[in-house]
Structure 1
Amino acid sequence: MEKIIAEVDEWELLKKLPKEFGKFTLLIELEKRDTQYCIFTYQNKVEHKSFTVLYDQATKEYFARVVIGLIEYFDVNFIVGDIQQLEKILIQRLKGVLNQLSFFTKENIESIVHEKKIMDWSFEEEYPQNLLGFELFIKPDEPVKVINGSYIIVDYSDFNFNSNLTIYYNVFRDEFFGETRIKGTPIILALFDTKDLTELQKLVASHLRTELEKIRMQLN
């Protein structure tokens, strides 16, 4: 790890990274945390988003962690074995990733999501911005692509308690499904499993409030 730290600390690219890009602000970290060395993070605290580049001693790889609200995942495009490869990929992809995280455009959404009419769902007309202390963080008219072919289409989050209810659409399975998170622990929620948007809308109408109440009871 010491060799990696020394190499990263002298990395010229860190001096060239823009301090601001899109809605993100650069934070140079250069901090060891257990088996990982956190190099830098682009943060958007207001929208609860971040993009972090790290080195992992266990796998001997560099990688990028994306955080959107309470959901986080590794962007496989940035997993590389040496700093030269990492620099090349960052030059090629970093601004594009930050731009997509900053601004929603329908052109970036896959055709099957358009065909399902997910973005036509007038969710905000039917449900409040705040419900039982949970904030409507993601809504169907601006779905967020994560990993493994999944889009977040509904997310009600309580960031103070690291808890939420999330509904996804997976393009590979052509299926909607749900998940809750209680103080950071994810739990599968089969209640919203369906392939039909109209059926999902009925399920949400019948069960959304009840499921949020269940989460709230575990937090109080």
Structure 2
Amino acid sequence: MEKIIEEVTGWEFLQKLPQEMCGFMLINELMTCGSQYRIFTYNNQNARRSFTVLYDKATKDFLVRTVIGLTEFCDISFITGNLAALEKLLTDRMEKTLWGLARFEPTCLCAQFAAKKIVEWTYAAQLPKQLSGFELFITPQEPFKGLNGSYVIIDYSDFATESNLIVNYNIFRDQFFSEIRLRRTPLMTAEFDAKTLPDLEERLKNNLNPTLEKLRLKLQ
């Protein structure tokens, strides 16, 4: 790790980074967090989105960690084993990636997802903006791609308690499924498992409010 820190500290690319890019503000970190060394972050506090470049001692790779609300994942397109390759990836892709984080672009949706007509789903307009203290953070009209072929299409979050309910659609399984986090601890739920939008609509009508009420009670 010491050699990597020395290499990163003298990395001229860091001196050229703009303080603002696509609405994201630069934070130079250069700090060790466990087995990882955080290099820099572009953060959009109002949108609750960030893009962090780091080195992972366990895997011996440079990585990019993306955060959208309470959802975090590694952007595999930036994984590389050396600083020169990382610089090229960042030069070629970072601004475009930040632009995509800052705004929803329908043309970026894959064909399988677009064919499901989730963005055009009329029921989405009926989803309450607030329920039991949870905010509708992600809507079906503006989903985002997560990991392993899954898109987050609904996210009700309470950021103060770091708790939320997420509904995903997986293009490989052609299935809707949900996740709950209680103070960031994952909880199992099958209340919103569905194969079609009409089925998901029925499950949301029957289960959304009770599920969030139960989650609120667990937080009290």
Per the TM superposition, whether the score is higher than 0.5 is yes
Cα deviation for residue 121 of structure 1 reads: 2.1
**1:122–1:141 contact (8 Å) kept in structure 2:** no
| Aligned-partner Cα distance in 2 for 1:128–1:100 | 26
Query: 2:64 maps to which residue?
Result: 64
1:110 maps to a residue whose letter is C
Which runs of structure 1 show a deviation greater than 6 angstroms over 4 or more consecutive aligned residues? none
Letter in 1 for 2:118: I
Query: Residues 55 and 63 of structure 1 are in contact (CA less than 8 Å); yes or no, is this contact kept in structure 2?
Result: yes
The match for 1:3 is: 3
Structure-1-length-normalised TM-score: 0.97
Q: Is the counterpart of residue 171 in structure 1 residue 178 in structure 2?
A: no
Kindly report which structure 2 residues correspond to 1:14-93, keeping only aligned pairs within 5 A, or say none. Answer: 14-93=14-93
Q: In the alignment, is the contact (CA less than 8 A) between 1:123 and 1:139 conserved in 2?
A: no
**CA–CA distance in structure 1, aligned partners of residues 101 and 95 of structure 2:** 10
Counterpart CA distance in 1 for 2:99 and 2:123 is 25
Indicate conservation of the 8 Å contact 1:130/1:136, yes or no.
yes
In structure 1, the partner of 2:102 is 102
Match of 2:186 in 1: 186
The CA deviation string for residues 106-158 of structure 1, in whole angstroms up to 9 with x for no partner, is 11111222221111123553122111110100000111111111100000000
Deviation at 1:33, TM superposition (A): 1.2
- Provide the aligned C-alpha RMSD in A: 1.1
CA distance in 2, matches of 1:140, 1:33: 35
User: Match of 1:209?
Assistant: 209
User: How many angstroms apart in 1 are the aligned matches of 2:26 and 2:212?
Assistant: 35
Identity %: 48
- TM-score, structure 2 as length reference: 0.97
The answer for the alignment partner of 1:198 in structure 2 is: 198
Deviation at 1:211, TM superposition (A): 0.5
The answer to whether the 8 A contact 1:123-1:140 is kept is no
For residues 123 and 41 of structure 1, the distance between their equivalents in structure 2, rounded to whole angstroms, comes to 37
Distance 2:55 2:114 in 1: 37
Structure 1, unpaired ranges of 5+: none
Could you say what secondary structure the match of 1:193 adopts? Answer: coil
